[in-house]
Amino acid sequence: MLKLIVKTKNKKYPIVIGENILKKINSFFKSYVPNCKKIALIVDNNVPNKITNNIRKSLKNYQILLIKIHVSEKKKSFKTIESLLNKILKNNFNRNDCVIALGGGILGDISGLTASLLKRGIRFINIPTTLLAQVDSSIGGKTAVNLNLGKNLIGTFHQPDLVIADILTLKSLPKREMICGYAEILKHALILDKKFFNWLNKKGKEIINLSNKNSIQKAIFLSCKIKSKIVQKDEKEKNLRQILNFGHTFGHAFEATKKFSKKLNHGESVLLGIICAIKFSLKKKEELDLILDHYSNLNLPYKIKNFFKKKDIPRLIKFMKSDKKNYDKNIKLVLINQIGKVAKPKSYSEIKIKKFLLAMLD
């Protein structure tokens, strides 16, 4: 079992990573969630019942309120939060009690927000069950719901008390979802760790195919280490945390332009976004080729032209301009100077980005 401690201004909590570690959940609870009597176990409907039942059995000494949710971006709404708050409050939870999220990033964002609002904040345990949630969304305490005006516009920062990433939960995950998580692993390596990127060049296939437990555990550990290092320095995303947005300014515009259709999911949009960001930033052809070869070896989507046409550019620009990083009419981008060396985020004019997209779609 691998363990990392995240230290933010007001909280210190562990991330534990391993295979079949959920069987130890009762002892984790005794150590990290003392005096808890009631648990709201909020579960993504697609998580196999066996996993949920084993957790319930291990935590049989606690009073468990089980709530299952069929997740979708539409479920990331105030309506869902209100319903969760009502169900939990009817059972008289107090601040020593806790909410457990058992699911992917959507379930984690909703459950975290619920925990942060209940009595102005009760304990929160995250058990991420998608690769994306294990390497990214379960760390850092961001919670969110969507509005018609945009994704993740409403939320809080509420750090968990414990994160348990058990790679056994990934067994039932579709390959497309594994690729989604891989996009964030690759992002972490490209911004801060060339050695990690070189290692991914050798181990990427094993990670995506979940065929070597040591490789997958190491990839999750190194990703969590990079993300937690950044979160510790800039919990509320005032400056440094923005670098985690590498590939996402283009990526978010790609998914929004496609109206969040299943034809191009979040991870695929980020992978295309990373391609744009490296082509925009890297001057050295050898480095660019290294990344393009990585995409080609792993069969990752890289051809923007396969998804967008020149007529989509005005919409892409509109979404890029509404990005949370912007404070004026320009578009702020996170770029890299070389593999493993992120640059300070910088703003570019709409005209410059338009020209770049035109060239990409030529």
Ligand X SMILES: NC(=O)c1ccc[n+]([C@@H]2O[C@H](COP(=O)([O-])OP(=O)(O)OC[C@H]3O[C@@H](n4cnc5c(N)ncnc54)[C@H](O)[C@@H]3O)[C@@H](O)[C@H]2O)c1
Q: Which residues bind ligand X (CB under 6 A)?
A: 44, 46-47, 71, 73, 76, 103-107, 109, 129-130, 132-133, 136-137, 140, 142, 152, 169, 172-173, 177, 180, 266
| C-beta of 204 vs 251, nearer to ligand X | 251
CB of 152 to ligand X, least distance (A): 5
Q: Where are the beta strands (DSSP E) in the chain?
A: 2-7, 12-18, 38-44, 63-69, 98-103, 123-128, 145-147, 150-154, 162-166, 331-333, 336-338, 341-342, 346-348
Tokens of 5: 């401690």
Look up residue 167 and give its amino acid: I
Work out how close the CB of 126 gets to ligand X at its nearest, in angstroms, rounded to a whole number: 10
**Distance of closest approach, residue 49 Cβ to ligand X, in angstroms:** 11
Cβ atoms of 42 and 65 closer than 8 Å = no
Cβ proximity to ligand X, 142 vs 294, nearer residue: 142
Rounded least distance, CB 63 to ligand X, Å: 25
Minimum distance from residue 106 beta carbon to ligand X (Å): 3
Select 38 or 252, whichever has its Cβ closest to ligand X. Answer: 252
Rounded to a whole number of angstroms, the minimum distance from the CB of residue 255 to ligand X is 10
The per-residue DSSP string of 31-77 comes to: HHSTT--EEEEEEETTS-HHHHHHHHHHTTTSEEEEEEE---GGGSS
Q: Which 3 state secondary structure label does DSSP give 324? A: coil
Closest approach, Cβ 174 to ligand X, in A, equals 7
In angstroms, the CA 276 to CA 361 distance is 11
Q: By C-beta, is 36 or 231 nearer to ligand X?
A: 231
- Residue whose structure tokens are 């959920």: 22
Decide whether 93 or 124 has the Cβ nearer to ligand X.
Answer: 124
- Which is nearer to ligand X, 67 or 290 (by Cβ)? 67
Shortest distance (Å) from residue 26 CB to ligand X? 21
Distance, in Å, from the CA atom of 48 to the CA atom of 123, rounded to the nearest integer, reads 25
Choice between 140 and 251, CB closer to ligand X: 140
In the bound state, the residue with its beta carbon closest to ligand X is 105
Distance, CA of 85 to CA of 40 (rounded, Å): 10
Min. distance of Cβ 321 from ligand X in angstroms?
Answer: 20
User: Which residue lies nearer to ligand X by CB, 59 or 210?
Assistant: 210
Pairwise CA distance, residues 113 & 102, whole Å: 14
Q: Nearer to ligand X by C-beta: 217 or 357?
A: 217
- The pairing of beta strand 336-338 with beta strand 63-69: unpaired
Residue 68's region, left for phi above 0, alpha for psi from -120 to 50, else beta, is beta
Which residues are within 8 A (CB) of 67 and not within 5 positions of it... i.e. 6 or more apart?
40, 41, 42, 43, 84, 87
Residue 38 or 269: the one with the smaller Cβ distance to ligand X is: 269
CA distances from 145 to 75, 112, 183 (A): 8, 10, 22
Neighbours of 147 (CB within 10 A): 12
DSSP-derived secondary structure letter, 346: E
Please state the closest distance from residue 73 (CB atom) to ligand X, in A: 6
